[in-house]
Amino acid sequence: MRRGVHHRPRGPGRREHVPLSGLDRDGAQAIIHRLGLQPHPEGGWYRETWRA
């Protein structure tokens, strides 16, 4: 069995996965504002970090 990024540990120490879609809208808007993100034309958010 291959272990990768999506490997979940088993047993009592296992953490529950919280999907990003579970983030409340106010929390998402706060992160977008704090990071200075702009809406991307194809959907989602981004911040330009380099321009040639």
Sorted by where each begins, the domain ranges of the chain are: 24-52
Task: Give the integer Cα–Cα distance in Å for 46 and 37.
Answer: 5
Instruction: For residues 4-30, give the mean pLDDT.
Output: 67
pTM over 0.75: no
Tokens of 44: 């989602």
pLDDT of residue 26 exceeding 90, the answer is: no
Q: CA nearest 31: which of 18, 13, 47, 16?
A: 47
> Which pLDDT band, with edges at 50, 70 and 90, does 41 fall under?
very high
Residue bearing the bigger pLDDT, 21 or 40 = 40
